[in-house]
Amino acid sequence: MSKAVKLDDNTQFGLPPALIGRSDVSRLLREIEEVDYALETQAIRTPEKPLTIPAMSRALSETATLNNIDVVNLEERKRMIDALREAKDKAPNVQITFAVDPAPDITSQLVAWIRHNLHPRALITVGLQPALIGGCVVRTPDHIYDFSLRKRFKDEQPALIQAINAVIAGK
């Protein structure tokens, strides 16, 4: 895996739990590039005036705060853009398929846990597959973990058939 972009000698670039997948990072990257363009334009057109930060989304504000980035500072902005490009292109992706759509707070907690325990910039793709009945299937670049009820029923099929036959025979 490539070396992470560092903002200073001791800190790695982090993503807040609100940024879940590649599309979220792409959206944030477009936004910071627009802010960068607006600030550079201001600096060229009116160099004597202090820069005015354009309106920023909550996700961009949280990301800047998490990484102690002053958006007005050109160098820090460029490092943030580079870090987001690297995250979008090279961050590990974990695909999680659920039987039903998970609640947003559950998804945020899951993202926070994955980033804390597996990789600080892991991106998550959430999918739906009602045939799982319950539980989930987790796909990483190296493994597939099936925690679904469908798999559990399939693994326990002989015992289920035996239990059903025992109930039928007891009637």
Q: pLDDT (tens digit, 9 = 90+) per residue, 31-72?
A: 999 999 999 999 999 999 998 999 999 999 999 999 999 999
* Contact of 147 with 138, CB cutoff 8 Å: yes
Tell me the C-alpha distance between 123 and 108, whole Å. Answer: 12
pLDDT at 126: 93
- The predicted model scores a pTM of 0.76
* In the predicted structure, residue 4 carries a pLDDT above the cut 60: no
Residue type, 42: Q
Question: Greatest CA span in the chain, whole angstroms?
Answer: 92
**Sequence-ordered list of residues with C-beta below 8 angstroms from that of 150, at least 6 positions apart, any chain:** 131, 132, 133, 135
Tell me the C-alpha distance between 46 and 27, whole Å. Answer: 28
